[in-house]
Structure 1
Amino acid sequence: MRRIVDRVRDTGGAGVDRRSLLIGGGAVAGLLIAWGVWPRSYRPNLAVASDETLFNAFLKIDTAGQIIVVVPQAEMGQGVSTVLPQILADELGADWRTVAVQSAPISPLYANSLLAGEALASDWSALAGGAGRWAIAEFATRNAIMLTGGSTSVRMFTQAYREAGRAGRVLLCKAAAARWDVPWETCDIVDGLVTDGQRKLRIGELAAEAAAFTLPDILPERQGEENRLWGEDVARIDLPSKVDGSHNYAADIRLPDMLFASIRQGPVGAVALGAINEAAARKVTGFVQLVKRERWVAALGTDWWAANKALDALDPQFMVADTPLSSARIDAALDDAFESEQGRRLYEQGDLAAMFEGAQAVKREYSVAPALHLAIEPPCATARVEDGKAEVWTATQAPMFCRRAVAKALGFPESAVVLYPLSAGGSFGRRMEHDTAVQAALLAQEVNRPVQLLWSRLEETIQDRPRAPAKARMAARLGRGGRIEAWSAKVASPTALAETWARISDGADPMEAARTSAGSANRLAVSGMPGPYALSSFAVDHYPAAIALPTGRWRANADGASAFFTESFIDELAHQAGIEPMSFRIQMLGGQARLAHCLTTAAAMGGWQGGIAGSGQGIACHVMDGSFIAILVECSMDNGRPRVDSIVAVVDCGDQPHPDIARQQIEGGLMFGLASALGGAAEYRGGLPRRAIMGRLGLPRLSDIGEISVELIQSSAEPGGVGQIGVPPVAPALANALFTVTGRRHRNLPLVPVA
C-alpha cells in the first residue's frame, strides 16, 4: 500500500481499448509481459492551498489543523463522504470535529477496480484467476476508471484510507519526535494531538515539517481500543448543509449571464425530431432561444419554468423507426427469447437431465416488470464553454467517462474539460449515465453562454434506463424428506449492465447498445443465482432478450429479480413438500453459517409462526456484496392493497465503520425493494410510460408501512456492502406473506396491479 500513499503510479494509457488487448491464445502472457515492463508512477493531482500540506492522495492538513480528506466517490445520500473520512481519521487519530471533505479530481489513484471488474470480467474472461484480477486492476487504474456504485465504496477503499491515515500519523509522529529528540515509535496521536505521553503538539503546527520525512517500509496499525472512531456513529459531515439548504446540487449552481434549459427527446426509440411549433414557443414570456439536434430539441429561457412552458407550446413531434414500444411487446420479446439460439447455460452442477428424467417436476413461472429509478432529484447539469475550454457541474457516478463524453461531443481534448462532481439527490444507478452533462455542454457551446439543463420529471421517466424486465421458468425435483434433488432456472432478460457499459465507456447509442448486448448471454443478467443453497444438481440458463427498451443499472441490479424468483420458488417447494419454510431453507444452507444465523435470528425477533395460513408472515434471505440478510415480513390487506405491518431484517455485513449509516442504507434498501414490490414499474404504450407522476406509480406511503427493525449481527469479518443488500429479499418475503393471507401465489412484480 505504500505505493498508493507514497509513490503511487502515473497516468497514461487512457486510450487503450480493452478489447484490443486480447488477441489470440497468447494474449494473457503478452499482456502480463507488456504491462510488467510498462512503468508508471502516479502522483496526486490535487490543488493545494498555501496553508495546506499534501500528505498523500487522500489526505491534506492545513496550518489550523483541519484534516481534509479527499473522497473520489459520489455522495448520493449513502453517507460515503462520512464513512471513508471516518476510516482515515480513525487510523490518523484525528479529532472528528476537525475533519473536512474534498471531492477528488479525475486520477488513476482513485480508480475503482472492484466495480470496473464487474463490467470487464466478461470481456476479459481469457484472463483467469489472479492474472485476470491483476490485469483488470491495472487497466482500471491506467484509465482512471473512477466509479461509484454496486456497494463497492467501502469494500474498495477501506485499505487505502487505512494506509493513508497510518502514513499521516507516522509522518506527524516523526516530526514531533524530531522536536522532542525521542524515538518516533514512542509517539502517537490522540484526539487530534501528537503526544509522547507527556508533551503535546497540535497537528496543524507540525504538518509542513511532517511531509518532509520518509515513510518506513511497513506502516504500523494504530494500537488500542480507546479513542477510536471505527465502529462509532459519528456525526455525518454532509448533514448540516443538507438541513440548512446550503448544500450544493447541480440545480443550485448559478453563473453570471446563465440561461436555463429544458429538453424533449421523444418517446423510446425516437430516431429524428419532426414538426415543431416554433412560433408558439416564442410567445412565452422569458423564452430566449431554441436549440435543435437530430434527436432532441431544447428551449432556453431566463428561468426554467419559461423554458419548459416554451417546450409545451412547441409541441415537438418525433419519428420512430419501428413499432412503438409497448408492455405487450416487451412481454412477447421475453417469451421469444426462450426459443432463441442465444441462450446459454452459465452455471451447472451434476447430471441435471438424468435427475429430471421420468420425474414429476414442480414447475413455476415468474416475471418482473421494468422498474424505474425515481430519484428525488431529476437529472441536471450546468455548463460553461468559452475560449476552447469547458466547465461542467453535475452529479456523476463515472466522472472519467462523463468528462470523456463531454470532450468528444464538443470536439475538445479531455484536458480542456473541467468536471466539478456534485452530490446527487439519489441515484440508484441512474447517475452512471452522462446524457445531461453532454447536452448542457452542447447548449452552452451553441449559445455562447452558461446553461443549466434540468430534465422535467416527465422527461426523466420517459428517458429512464429502467431495471431490466425478466421472466423465469423454474423447475425442481423433490426427493425424500423434501430434499431438492434437481433445480433448473431459465431466465429471459436483457443484459442491462452490458448495455450500460457500452453506453458509458464506448459511447454507444442506447438502442444500438440494447440490440448488440442482446446477442450474448451474460452472468451479470442472472446475478444472485443459483443462490445460497447447497444443491447437488442445478443449472442456470440465460436467454438474452431484445426488448427495444434500453435498460441500465438499478439498485441491486439483477439480484432483485433473481431473489424474487428463487425465494418465491423455494417457498412454493416448501409448501409442496409440507415442510415449514424456514426449516426448509436451513436444511439446504450447507456451509452458510452466517446466513443461517440471520434466518434464525429474524425468526426469533419477528415471532415466526411457521408460515401458517392466516399468519400474514413471509420470510426470504439473500447473499450479495459480502453481506448476508434474512427478513421476516408481516402484512395484511387494506382495501385490496397490501399493508406491511412490520419488517424485521437481520444482517451480517461484517465489521462496519459506521453502524448507523449501515442501518440507514439497509432500511433504505428495504423501502426501495418494497417500492418495486408494490409499484414503481414502467408500463409502456406507444413508446411512452403510461404513468409519470410519482403519486400514480403505486409507491408505498408511510401509512402503508408499520415498524421496521434492522438488526446487525456482530462480526469481525471485513465490511460487506450495505447499499444493495436490503433490496432483493423484500418482494419475495412479501409475496410469501400474502400467500398466507389470500391463499394465492403472487408470481409477478409488481405484486398487485397499479390502479
Structure 2
Amino acid sequence: MRRTRGMAGGNGIDRRTLLIGGGAGIGLLVAWAVWPRSYLSNLPVRDKETAFGAWLKIATDGRVTVAIPQCEYGQGVFTTLPQVLADELGADWRMVGVEQAPLNPLYANELASAELFPGLVPERLRRTHAVRKALVLTGGSTSMRSFEGPLRQAGAAARAMLCKAAARRWGVDWQECETGNGFVVHGQQRLRFGELAAEAAGEDVPVDLTFREGETGRLAGEPAPRLDAPGKVDGSANFAGDIRLPNMVFAAIRQGPVGTVKLASIDEAAARAVPGTLHIVKNERWVAVAANNWWAATQALEAINPRFEMAGKVHSETIQAALDEALNGHGERMASAGNLSATFKGARVVTAEYRAGLALHAAIEPVTATAVWEDGRVRLWLPTQAPGLARDAVASVLGLAVADVVIHPMLAGGSFGQNLEHLVAQQAALIAREIKKPVQLTWSRGETCSHDRFRPPAAARMTARLGANGAVMGWLAKIAAPATGHELADRLIGGDALAGTKRLVRGDGDRAAVAGARPIYRIANFAVDHHPASIGVPTGYWRSGAHSYTAFFNESFIDELAHVADIEAFSFRIAMLGGEPRLARCLSTVASLGGWQGGLPGSGQGIACHAFCGSYIAVMAEASVGGDQRVQVDRLVAAVDCGRIVNPSVVEQQIEGGLIFGIAAALGVTTGFTGGIADARSFRDLDLPRLANTPEIMVELIASEADPGGVSELAVPPVAPAIANALYAATGMRLRQLPLIPGGE
C-alpha cells in the first residue's frame, strides 16, 4: 500500500440486432450498424517522424510521441495514457511526448457513451454506434478504462516491429530481442528506436502479440513526472483563451434569462458609443458585441441594455415546488430485487428525506471559443470533451456539411463536465460568419455561472425496515430529480437517428438521474424509483454525475439506520459488505488509518464509502461547527482501491483534488434562482474551499491487480455524507440538505 499525507457476445446477426423498436408501428432498420467498415489513421506526421498506427510516432532522434484523443483538463490523461504505451514499448520517459489526437472514429469511446448516455442504444450496437458517430468523449472516468488496452496493444505492436527491424540487421531471431530505455537490445548489441523507426514501420505485426514481462525497467506503477506540467508552469501551454490570429476581434455575450423566448430590444447607439466597439451581432436569444479588446466588448454590452421576452420566470421556490410535486407523484422503478412490498407490509419502517441543491461546475477557465470563417468553412479552437459532437452542432447551426467544420481541441482549465457542452462553439461560429473576422468569444464569469448546465437538484424519500438484529431487511429510495441523462442526450446527440428512435420508446424514468442509488450493501429486498421533475432550468453532467447526491442520500441514511439499530456505524456497514470485499477493505483501512473512534457523540467523526466506475473508496471526516455557525472540516482520510495503478502520483492528485471538490459540493458551489437568473454571479458567491480552511488530507492507495477503475470522479461522492455524519457526531444535529448549512433547514 502507498500512503501520502498533505494539505491540501457473439458476432452473428439476428433479427433483434437489425430491428430496434417498441410498440406497434415503431421500428428502425439499423443493418448499417453491423456492416464492417474500416477507418484509416489521420495522425499528422512531421519531417523525420514515422507513424506506427494511430497512436504512436517515433522520430529519428528517438523522440516518442503518443497521440491521445482525450481532453486534458487537469486529470492527468496526457501523462497516464502515454505512460501505458511507453511502458509496453520500453521507451525512455525523458524522450516521451504527447499530442492531441485528431478527430477520428478510431478513437471512439464506447464506454463514455454508455456512462454519459445510459440506455441510448442497445448494448449490442453500442460499439458500432460510437464508432460511426465518432463519439470521441472524455467523461465518466472512462479514459484509462477505455484506452489502457488499445495503448498497450499499440506499444506491444511497435515493440515487435522495432525488434524485427533490429534482428534483421543483426541476423538474429527477433524474439530474442528486448527493449528498454529507448533501445532495442540483444546481448551487448543496442540500437536506438530512432535509428530503426523508418525500417520498423514496414515490418509485419505478429498475429499473436505478447506483452512485456518482468518488473525491472518498467514505467507502469511508477510516479513518472507529468508531461503537461512544464508547459503549464512556464506558460508555454496553450489554452483556448491564448489563441491569437491576424485581425482577430474579441467578443462578449449577454444571453437571456432561463425561460427566454426572444431578444426584445437593445440600445445599439449606446453600445456603439463605447470606444473600441466594432460589431453587434443579434440572435433570437442573445446579443454579442465584438470589439478590439474584451473589456470594451463587455462595457458595450452593459450599455446595450438588452431586454428579453420571457415565457415564465424560474425562482428557487418554483424549483423546490417542482421537486415536491414529483416526489409525491408517479415514479418509475429503475432497479429492484426481492419482494419489497411483502417486506414492508405491516412493518415499522424508518424514513428520512434529503435534498441537494443545484451545483455549478465552477471551472477556473470561463467558457470560451475562437472561430474563423473562410470560404464557406469554419475552424474553431475550444476546450471540448466531445469534439465530434461540437463539430456536428456547429455544422447544424450553420447549415454546413461536417467536412466543412474543423475543431482544434485545446487544453482545458478544469471542466468537471462543463466542456461536454458546445453552445459557445455555435455562438462563436455564428458571430465569425456574420462579421467575417476571426473572433474569440468568452463568456463573463457571470454568464458562465448563470448559463451553466447545472448539476441537477434532487430530493429523496428513503424508507427502510430493520430486523431484530439490526440488519436492513428492506430499502426503498424514491428520488425526485430532472431527467438529466435524457436532457443531455437530447441536447448533445438529439439529431442521431438511432438515438431518436430510442427516445420514442423510452420511459419517463432516467437511469442517469439515479445513478449510484442502488445500495452497495447486501440488502435482499430493495427498490430505487425515479420521479422525474421539470424544474425549468437546464441541467447537465457534473463531476461524478448523480452519484454526487445519491451517495449523500444513501450514506447519510445508512448512518441514521445504524443509530436507530444502536450499532456502531463502521460495524453496521461491514456486516452488510460480504459481497464487496474490496469496499470492505477500504472501509477497514480508513477506520484503522484515521483512528476511528466509533462516531461517538462529541467525536466529530463521520464515515462513508462508495463504489464508482470499477473503483472503491472509503472516507473518514472530522468536522465541527464554529462560533460563526460555519462548518469547519478539520481532517479527511481516504482509502482507495482503484485497481492496477499506472501512475500513483496522478492517482493521489486526483483523489486529493476530488476530496476538496467534494468539500465544495458539501458546503457550497450552489445557487438559487430569482426571476430566471442565477443568484451566484462569481466565485465569491460559491463558498469554495480556500487554502486557509483546507483540511489535513491523508490518502491510502490499496495495492490491487484488478483492472484499472475510474479515479478522477471517485473521491467526490462520499465526502458530503462523511462530513454530514461527522457533524451529527459533533453536534447531534442531522443535516439532510446540500449544501450543509447548520440551522439552514
TM more than 0.5: yes
Counterpart of 2:448 (choices 441, 460, 477) is: 460
The equivalent position to 1:554 in structure 2, one of 515, 519, 542, is 542
Indicate if the aligned counterparts of 2:91 and 2:181 stay in contact, CA closer than 8 A.
yes
Letter in 2 for 1:110: Y
What is the rounded CA distance, in whole Å, between the counterparts of 2:320 and 2:98 in structure 1? 47
Cα distance in 2, alignment partners of residues 579 and 193 from structure 1: 60
User: Could you tell me which residue of structure 2 aligns to residue 149 of structure 1?
Assistant: 139
The whole-number CA distance in structure 1 between the counterparts of 2:743 and 2:416 is 22
1:435/1:476 CA distance change after superposition, 3 Å: same
User: For each residue in 1:405-452, what CA deviation from the matched residue of structure 2 results, as whole angstroms up to 9, or x when unmatched?
Assistant: 111222221111111100100100010000111111111110111000
Alignment of 1:657 onto 2:678:
no
1:613 aligns to what SS in structure 2?
coil
1:181 alignment partner, one of 168, 171, 174: 171
SS of the equivalent of 2:309 reads: strand
Moved over 6 A (4+): 25-33, 515-519
Equivalence for 1:397: 385
- Do the aligned partners of residues 368 and 29 (structure 1) sit closer, same or farther apart at CA in structure 2, a change above 3 Å counting? closer
1:647 is aligned to 2:636: yes
The reply on whether 1:330 has 2:319 as its aligned counterpart is yes
Distance in 2 of aligned mates of 1:27 and 1:727: 45
One-letter identity of the residue aligned with 1:117: A
Q: Matches of residues 38-57 of structure 1 in structure 2 within 5 Å?
A: 38-57=35-54
Shift of 1:569: 0.4
- C-alpha change, 1:516 and 1:286, in structure 2 (3 Å) is farther
> What is the CA–CA distance in structure 2 between the aligned matches of 1:658 and 1:119, rounded to whole Å?
25
Structure with larger RCO (C-alpha < 8 A, sep 6+): 2
Partners in 2 of 1:115 and 1:283 — Cα distance? 48
Q: How far apart are residue 205 of structure 1 and its match?
A: 1.4
CA distance in 1, matches of 2:239, 2:692: 30
The corresponding residue for 1:746 is 735
Larger mean Cα displacement after TM superposition, 242-251 or 331-340: 331-340
Kindly tell me: are residues 310 and 35 of structure 1, through their superposed partners in 2, closer, same or farther at Cα, counting changes over 3 Å? closer
Kindly indicate whether the alpha-carbon contact (under 8 Å) linking 1:257 and 1:449 is maintained by their aligned counterparts in 2: yes
Residue 603 (structure 1) aligned with residue 591 (structure 2): yes
Equivalent positions of 1:417-432 (< 5 A) are 417-432=405-420
Q: Which moved more, 1:54-63 or 1:115-124?
A: 115-124
- Within 5 Å, give how 1:56-205 maps onto structure 2: 56-124=53-121, 127=122, 132=123, 134-205=124-195
Q: Distance in 2 between matches of 1:335 and 1:495?
A: 15
Aligned pairs for 1:313-712 within 5 A: 313-322=303-312, 324-341=313-330, 343-506=331-494, 520-638=508-626, 639-712=628-701
User: How far, CA to CA, are the matches of 2:26 and 2:386 in structure 1?
Assistant: 28
Match of 2:249 among 250, 259, 269: 259
Deviation at 1:364, TM superposition (A): 0.4
- Aligned match for 1:304, one of 279, 287, 294: 294
**CA–CA distance in structure 1, aligned partners of residues 131 and 200 of structure 2:** 28
Contact 2:18 2:29 in 1 (8 A): no
Counterpart contact for 1:518–1:544, Cα < 8 Å: no
1:174–1:563 distance in 2 versus 1, CA, 3 Å: same
* Runs of 5+ unmatched residues, structure 1: 1-18
Alignment correspondent of 2:268: 278
Structure 1 position 705, deviation (Å)? 2.4
Q: In 1, Cα distance between the equivalents of 2:522 and 2:618?
A: 17
Q: Which residue number corresponds to residue 723 of structure 1? A: 712
Q: Distance in 2 between matches of 1:519 and 1:109?
A: 32
Which amino acid in the other structure matches residue 486 of structure 1?
G
Deviations 1:584-634 (A, max 9, x none): 001111211111111111011111110111000000000011001001000
| SS of 2:370 mapped into structure 1 | strand
What residue identity is the alignment partner of 2:653? Q
Instruction: Give the whole-Å Cα distance in 1 for the aligned partners of 2:184 and 2:522.
Output: 53
Kept after mapping to 2: 8 A contact 1:679/1:754: no
CA contact (8 A) 1:629 1:650 kept: yes
Superposed CA deviations along residues 177-214 of structure 1, whole A, max 9, x for unmatched, are: 00011010011111001111211111111111001110
TM-score between both structures, scaled by the size of structure 1: 0.93
Secondary structure of 1:482's counterpart equals: coil
Number of the residue aligned with 2:3: none
Higher mean alpha-carbon deviation, 530-539 vs 692-701, is at 692-701
Distance 1:35 1:264 in 2: 42
Write the deviation string for residues 540-563 of structure 1: whole angstroms up to 9, x where unpaired: 111111111110000010011110
Distance 1:418 1:543, change over 3 A: same
Deviations 1:360-412 (A, max 9, x none): 11110000001010000001100111112211000100000101111122222
C-alpha deviation, 1:23, in angstroms: 3.4
C-alpha separation in 1, matches of 2:644 and 2:433: 49
2:60 alignment partner AA: T
- Take 1:506 and 1:518, find their aligned partners in 2: how far apart are those partners? 14
Question: Aligned pair in 2 of structure 1 residues 754, 321: CA closer, same or farther (>3 Å)?
Answer: farther
Contact 2:601 2:729 in 1 (8 A): yes
Please tell me whether the aligned partners of residues 623 and 726 of structure 2 are also in contact (alpha carbons under 8 angstroms): yes
Matched, 1:207 2:197: yes
Mapped partners of 1:399, 1:166: distance in 2: 28
What amino acid maps onto 2:112 in structure 1? L
| CA 1:651–1:177: 2 relative to 1, 3 Å | same
Corresponding letter in the other structure for 2:21 = I
**Aligned-partner Cα distance in 1 for 2:284–2:442:** 20
2:9 corresponds in structure 1 to: none
Please give the per-residue CA displacement for 1:612-664, whole angstroms capped at 9, x wherever unaligned: 11000000000011001001000122221111111000000011101110111
What is the DSSP-based 3-state SS (H/G/I as helix, E as strand, rest coil) of the residue aligned with 1:123? coil
Partner of 1:23: 21
SS in structure 1 at match of 2:216: coil
TM-score relative to the length of structure 2: 0.94
1:507–1:423 distance in 2 versus 1, CA, 3 Å: farther
Contact persistence 2:110–2:126 (CA under 8 A):
yes
Aligned in 2, Cα 1:116/1:28: closer, same or farther, shift over 3 Å? farther
Cα offset for 1:70? Answer: 0.4
Amino acid at match of 1:389: R
The offset of 1:106, in angstroms, is 1.2
**Cα distance in 1, alignment partners of residues 183 and 608 from structure 2:** 49
Task: Name the CA distance, whole Å, in 2 between partners of 1:277 and 1:412.
Answer: 32
Whole-angstrom distance in 1 between the partners of 2:242 and 2:743: 35
CA contact (8 A) 1:149 1:397 kept: yes
Shift of 1:34: 5.5
Q: Does the aligned pair in 2 maintain the 1:499–1:517 contact within 8 Å?
A: no
TM superposition shift of 1:123 = 3.5
For 2:187 and 2:399, locate their aligned partners in 1 and report how far apart those are by CA, in whole Å: 60
Task: Give unpaired runs (5+ residues) of structure 2.
Answer: 1-16
Residue aligned with 1:122, SS: coil
Contact 1:680 1:698 (C-alpha < 8 Å) held by counterparts: yes
Change (3 A) 1:284 1:528: same
RMSD: 2.2
Deviations 1:645-696 (A, max 9, x none): 1100000001110111011111111111110110111111111111212112
3-state DSSP of counterpart to 2:119: helix
